[in-house]
Structure 1
Amino acid sequence: MTAKAKTGSSILETIKTIVYALLIAGVFRTLFFQPFWIPSGSMKETLLIGDFLFVNKMAYGYSYASCPSVRIGAVGLNIDAKDICGFLDGDNTRLMGGQPERGDVVVFRHPVNGNDFIKRLVGLPGDKIQMKNGVLFINGAPVKLEDVGQFEEVMERQGPQGSFPRCENAPVGQGAICKKSRKLETLPGGNEHIVLNITNQGMDHTGVYQVPEGHYFFMGDNRDNSSDSRLPQSAGGVGFVPFENLIGRADRIMFSSAGRSMLYFWTWRSDRFFKGIE
């Protein structure tokens, strides 16, 4: 075999290896676990900007939303899950579907724009959900709340978007301590988690939401800094989320970066490696 033929054969083998690797990665991501990087502070303190986790896709079975969306703006690549698995969309069912539990931290597709969101599931099908003076009511009963001090962070730009946190003790200058009230919230069924308060605002006082069958109601733990089911989709919120739009359950943080990129390993938070999500 000539040197030219050997070179051609080597290039072909390299291409085949890359294609096989991509296929294996695609199958793994579609069926088992999907990586997810937290871009916003809507789930503080449970999840911080820069947390990196894998979403368990086996938890709730599979639907069209289980197929990955690939969006790389720099090269104009925009492949949506519906482009691949759209034939499964429309009947709000799942293959090997498992029911989510109240209190689960769930990644789901926004019902309108298709973007991935991560929030806590607080309302099941048939539930009546309401916020009164910042307290969550489920089926007419307030959830248990216990004061547990303050959440503190430095007033500085966070994540790739470079946004500043909102503070209950505002105004706060850069480099100073930004504070939020912490409460331990206990949902029916016993799930306990921390919720944060910043101020008294409109979404602390709502009407009653009746969750339709086959749909779920989600809220962020950082209650005053979350676009979630309390806002209808027509107003830029999430509204009620169909069962088929669930992608998976977030169970554990793999690592966390406090810098502008997860590649800045010197900014990784040592206390969040393999941290369980409650």
Structure 2
Amino acid sequence: MATEEKKSGGIVETIKTVVYALLIAGVFRTFLFQPFWIPSGSMKDTLLIGDFLFVNKMAYGYSYASCPSVIAPRFGLNIDAKDICGVFDGDNKRLFGSEPERGDVVVFRHPVSGRDFIKRLIGLPGDKVQMRKGVLFLNGSPVSVEPNGTFEEIAEEQGPQRLRPRCENGPVGDGGVCSKSKFVETLPGGVSHSILNITAQGSDNTSVYTVPEGHYFFMGDNRDNSSDSRVPNIAGGVGFVPYENLIGRADRVMFSSAGRSMLFFWTWRSDRYFQAID
């Protein structure tokens, strides 16, 4: 009898341990840091496919978007942040909120799909944003852009989605060197960062976007390979992003995997451990 009670007590303690661990992980992810794995090449060469980072949720305070979404189609899981914290949605406000700064690399919820995106903050509320021949204009003035060589990578399938890079010197066959022109762009306020150019295309010339109050304008650093605020969200892009949709700021890459899974440690990029995000 004593043995059965001991076994029963052991099972209960195990369940408690698991529940406590899940609660701690939930609090950590909801209020402090959220793990994020870069799935696409829209932020190259600042962020590469397979970069793993933690998003600082304390940077901008908290909203309904701070609650985690759990999306795992393979296991039939599709729990959205609104399913948990939807009661806080709709007022475009934040608890302990602080304003993001131009040039921040931000993870946010797509205004329509609810999926997590990561882009660079370009336009603040009230700003007028336009692209002219591939050059960014803010409030009627061009930002500083200086050539900075080329970005090179191997033309091959990348990440779990097996995405092939677009190349300025393309088409490039498997195993060839895929290159893009690289520039340093300096935003008002002094933030400098790398941007890439692939080709002349429609997104290099846009109308003037006036950012509404309480919203932000985002762009990818890989300018010709990014779905961002240059296209309205009703047309498949991102459009203007409400303040409450911000999740947090990305400050540092923890490690990076060049393979199909971050568990493939033999594919980790040793030169990207704890790399600061500019």
- Shared fold (TM-score greater than 0.5)? yes
Distance of 2:158 and 2:8 partners within structure 1 = 47
Aligned to 1:22: 22
Among the aligned pairs, what percent are the same residue? 75
Aligned to 2:90: 90
Distance of 2:5 and 2:70 partners within structure 1 = 35
1:5 Cα deviation after fit: 1.9
Aligned to 1:195: 195
Aligned to 2:148: 148
Aligned to 2:117: 117
Distance of 1:181 and 1:71 partners within structure 2 = 36
Distance of 2:161 and 2:86 partners within structure 1 = 31
1:206 Cα deviation after fit: 0.2
CA RMSD after TM alignment: 0.6
Amino acid at match of 1:58: M
1:1-278 equivalences in 2 (<5 Å) = 1-278=1-278
Distance of 2:242 and 2:107 partners within structure 1 = 12
Q: Deviations over 1:151-195 (max 9, x none)?
A: 000001100011110000011111010000000000000000000
1:8 Cα deviation after fit: 1.4
Distance of 1:163 and 1:86 partners within structure 2 = 33
Distance of 2:254 and 2:152 partners within structure 1 = 23
Q: Give the 3-state SS of the residue equivalent to 2:78 in structure 1.
A: strand
Distance of 1:273 and 1:65 partners within structure 2 = 28
Q: Tell me the TM-score normalised to structure 1 length.
A: 0.99
List, as ranges, runs of 4+ consecutive aligned residues in structure 1 with deviation greater than 6 Å: none
Distance of 2:156 and 2:171 partners within structure 1 = 13
Distance of 1:7 and 1:73 partners within structure 2 = 36
Distance of 1:2 and 1:22 partners within structure 2 = 30
1:2 Cα deviation after fit: 2.3
Amino acid at match of 1:72: A
Aligned length: 278
Distance of 1:86 and 1:176 partners within structure 2 = 48
Q: Give the 3-state SS of the residue equivalent to 2:114 in structure 1.
A: coil
> Which runs of no fewer than 5 residues in structure 1 stay unpaired?
none
Distance of 2:172 and 2:75 partners within structure 1 = 39
Distance of 1:253 and 1:9 partners within structure 2 = 42
